[in-house]
Structure 1
Amino acid sequence: MMSKVLNVGIVGTGEVAQVIHLPILASMPDKFRITALCDVSEESLAYNGKKYEVENLYTDAKELVKQSNLDVVFVLNSDEYHAEVAIDAANEGKHVLIEKPMALTMEDADAIIEAKNKNNIKIMVGYMRRYAPAFEAAVKEIGGLDKVLYARVRDIIGPNEFFVNQSGANPKRFMDIPEAAIVDKQERAKKLVTDAIGDVDEQLTFVYRLLGGLGSHDLSVMREALGMPQSVIGAGVKGRFLNTLFEYENFNVSYETGIDQQGRFDAHLEIYGETKSVRVEYDTPYIKGLPIKFIVNETVDGAFKETVIRPTYKDPYTIELENFYEALTGDGEIKTTPEDSKNDLVIFKMIIDALKTKKVPVC
């Protein structure tokens, strides 16, 4: 019988854990208790263990998942290890939250799904943007359009450090990573990309990792709002910027993403109908309390009207974890399942295949 307060084990105590997950979990003591931490950095373990008063500290995730009193394992380490840790946790009967990308290959995605089903546990993939009330309200608004004419997805951001350093979370970076761990991570990364898309050059390797990181948020949002695209009409990449044109049955979707050195966060989804358009604007998740808005533009009887709706200041990560808690203890449903997440890999491959036909040079 699961207790009301869920015992959580955290694998990976780096930047995202320190800025996002650890503070939010600590702010919800009626729902979650941080019970165990794991990281390859012993200095990070010591620091975060002291800060959050956690005594069970591990440098090996295979040991953490065996801790008998854990209800949930959060997989927050580097994505090369996501599948392995999630499967190990599932095989120990633990529920799992995996930060995106869930996996980098179809084989790993299928293995996660198999472990989930075999062990009768629940897994949530951390697409927090899809739990934002503004997005969910926008999806309903989009469903009310007579037809979609066109859509645009954009995510162009500056370096994470710009936002993290102003977050107030004061994350610490530790350099005591064992050399063997660094080498293992590099070798895994190369093998996973090769297994997923073949032996490709540096440019396509960068694109695939960009899609798995930043792109998985955007394309997951696109999928929920519009469904799966039929094909990629065209794609191009120059430096650190990617453009893709998706084909749907009755409309096209333009997707643009990239990383530069500007201190701004330009992420949005916009759907165009005949007399109405719906737009969702996201801000950086690293600074707590920045609102996510949806904006409705419509023309009625010749008059153009713009309505800006801000449903809440509560951040999507908190809402995501509230949903996760209800799914584990009550009647809540998880919509960002491993089965759902697998569709991102389908879209990644569509984009890479389109780029391969162009014989993209290394830039």
Structure 2
Amino acid sequence: MSTSAPPPPQRVRVGIIGCGEVTQVIHLATLVNLSHLFEVRILCDVSAAALAHCSARLPHLHRTTDAYDELCRAADIDVVFVASSDEYHVEHVVCALKLQKHVFVEKPLALCRKDVELIETAQRESGGKKVMVGYMRRYAAVFQDTIREVGGAGEVLYARVRDIIAPNPVFVGQSGAFPIQPTDISEAASADRKMWAVKGTNQALVVENDVPDTPENVEMWRWLCSLGSHDISLMRECLGVPTSVLGVSLRLPIWTVLFQFPNFAVTYESGIDQVPRFDASLEVFGKHKTVKVVYDTPYVKGLPVTMVVREAVEGDPGAFQERTVRRTYEDPYTLELKELWEMVVKGKEAKTTPADSMKDLEVFGMIMKAAEKQRAAA
């Protein structure tokens, strides 16, 4: 007796706004690898060179445009990828939602809380469309194991978040993606981006956090919104939101923060140096168990995310055991996009929502206000 094969999965039709580094190195390759789930229909960028470069990498017919509203309006698009510069995320996300499209947006979702609120309003008025923010580290399979292990570790005594890495070009240059840096961005486009950057950081620092927008504070805010959003988001999902900041050192290129949680403290250290390695982890210390999730650069495909558990052996006070868990070689970006497919096709709620992303900006504000308080007291 013959049985019919199950129907192929529904393919989600994608439009991408922004053909810069993350699209060139990560998103195009991942979407093409997941061609049974996704099909890129439209690419959009203000750079003709970036458009041509990305277009040449797609193995199927598609269109290109320099007008993001044209892409959002297209009837053959199910989800809009917003991978444009941070300054334009709110504009592009809101446009997509108003035109009844689901959205996948790279982090940071926005530079200030006001813009997140605009996105939340647009989502409520979109007729049920969803927004997923691209915190790919939180979609690593072993990170969910880490949360379960931490839950079984008993009382948390202390935790450490660490993310000290080399500059991105070190890893991009070894990724095999061979991206380009376009040189055809007009002066008007560059000036417009700078103007929106000033508005966003001024709103975040001065208006929302009562912190002066000095060049040093602006630079620190941008670092927190970029590299810091990985670390703080990961910490929040595993441990919750800190109650206060006990101390802070924001001397770039490496910064350190001591967070207070209800019953324990967390050290957060991050920044960029010139050592060609990727040192990123979250480590939680319980009374009888230490759990650590370790990340390597996502720009080199196939490097595993691992969990290291060190613990006492029950019933044998002198015994110690250590185990390393590698759940899969499937990278977090791939796992993230599988969750996106579930969101678009099956209506599954994403865990990395605008409301979730807002909490990062609140923690960044806590850090900046603590630093300003320390400076005033010095």
* TM score, norm. by length of structure 1: 0.96
- Alignment-derived partner of residue 4 in structure 2: none
Unpaired runs of at least 5, structure 1: none
Alpha-carbon distance in structure 2 between the residues aligned to 1:298 and 1:260: 32
Q: Is the 8 A contact 1:11 1:76 kept in 2?
A: yes
- Are positions 1:152 and 2:168 aligned together? no
**Aligned counterpart in structure 2 of residue 94 of structure 1, from 95, 101, 107:** 101
Q: Residue 250 of structure 2: SS of its match in structure 1?
A: strand
- Are positions 1:48 and 2:61 aligned together? no
Q: Is the 8 A contact 1:149 1:272 kept in 2?
A: yes
Alpha-carbon distance in structure 1 between the residues aligned to 2:86 and 2:110: 7
Alpha-carbon distance in structure 2 between the residues aligned to 1:183 and 1:156: 31
- Are positions 1:321 and 2:334 aligned together? no
- Are positions 1:84 and 2:100 aligned together? no
Alpha-carbon distance in structure 1 between the residues aligned to 2:38 and 2:310: 40
CA drift at 1:47: 2.3
Aligned-CA RMSD value: 1.2
Amino acid across the alignment from 1:201: T
Amino acid across the alignment from 1:86: V
Q: Is the 8 A contact 1:327 1:334 kept in 2?
A: yes
Q: Is the 8 A contact 2:79 2:344 kept in 1?
A: no
- Alignment-derived partner of residue 17 in structure 2: 11
Q: What percent identity do the matched residue pairs reach?
A: 46
CA drift at 1:179: 0.7
Deviations 1:41-99 (A, max 9, x none): 01111222232145421112122111111100000011000011000000000000010
Alpha-carbon distance in structure 2 between the residues aligned to 1:73 and 1:246: 36
Alpha-carbon distance in structure 1 between the residues aligned to 2:372 and 2:356: 26
- Are positions 1:108 and 2:104 aligned together? no
Alpha-carbon distance in structure 2 between the residues aligned to 1:207 and 1:173: 24
User: Which residues in structure 2 correspond to 1:154-173 (within 5 Å)?
Assistant: 154-173=162-181
User: Which residues in structure 2 correspond to 1:2-41 (within 5 Å)?
Assistant: 4-41=10-47
- Are positions 1:127 and 2:135 aligned together? yes
Alpha-carbon distance in structure 1 between the residues aligned to 2:283 and 2:153: 13
Amino acid across the alignment from 2:261: Y
**Aligned counterpart in structure 2 of residue 268 of structure 1, from 281, 301, 320:** 281
Q: Is the 8 A contact 1:323 1:333 kept in 2?
A: no
Q: Is the 8 A contact 2:166 2:272 kept in 1?
A: yes
Q: Residue 51 of structure 1: SS of its match in structure 2?
A: coil
Amino acid across the alignment from 1:69: D
CA drift at 1:183: 0.5
**Aligned counterpart in structure 1 of residue 358 of structure 2, from 336, 342, 358:** 342
Q: Is the 8 A contact 2:201 2:218 kept in 1?
A: yes
User: Which residues in structure 2 correspond to 1:107-256 (within 5 Å)?
Assistant: 107-119=114-126, 120-198=128-206, 199-256=212-269
Amino acid across the alignment from 1:73: V
Alpha-carbon distance in structure 2 between the residues aligned to 1:24 and 1:15: 14
**Aligned counterpart in structure 2 of residue 281 of structure 1, from 280, 294, 299:** 294
Q: Is the 8 A contact 1:37 1:54 kept in 2?
A: no
**Aligned counterpart in structure 2 of residue 258 of structure 1, from 271, 275, 298:** 271
Alpha-carbon distance in structure 2 between the residues aligned to 1:206 and 1:331: 38
Q: Residue 134 of structure 1: SS of its match in structure 2?
A: helix
Alpha-carbon distance in structure 1 between the residues aligned to 2:69 and 2:115: 17
CA drift at 1:239: 2.5
**Aligned counterpart in structure 1 of residue 68 of structure 2, from 55, 61, 65:** 61
Amino acid across the alignment from 1:203: E
Q: Residue 155 of structure 2: SS of its match in structure 1?
A: coil
CA drift at 1:331: 5.2
**Aligned counterpart in structure 2 of residue 293 of structure 1, from 283, 302, 306:** 306
Alpha-carbon distance in structure 2 between the residues aligned to 1:88 and 1:323: 23
Q: Residue 332 of structure 1: SS of its match in structure 2?
A: coil
Q: Is the 8 A contact 2:40 2:62 kept in 1?
A: no
Greater CA radius of gyration, 1 or 2?
A: 2
Q: Is the 8 A contact 2:256 2:267 kept in 1?
A: yes
Alpha-carbon distance in structure 2 between the residues aligned to 1:36 and 1:200: 38
CA drift at 1:261: 1.4
Q: Aligned pair count?
A: 358
Alpha-carbon distance in structure 1 between the residues aligned to 2:53 and 2:61: 10
CA drift at 1:206: 1.3
Q: Is the 8 A contact 1:158 1:264 kept in 2?
A: yes
Deviations 1:272-307 (A, max 9, x none): 001100000000000000000001000122211111
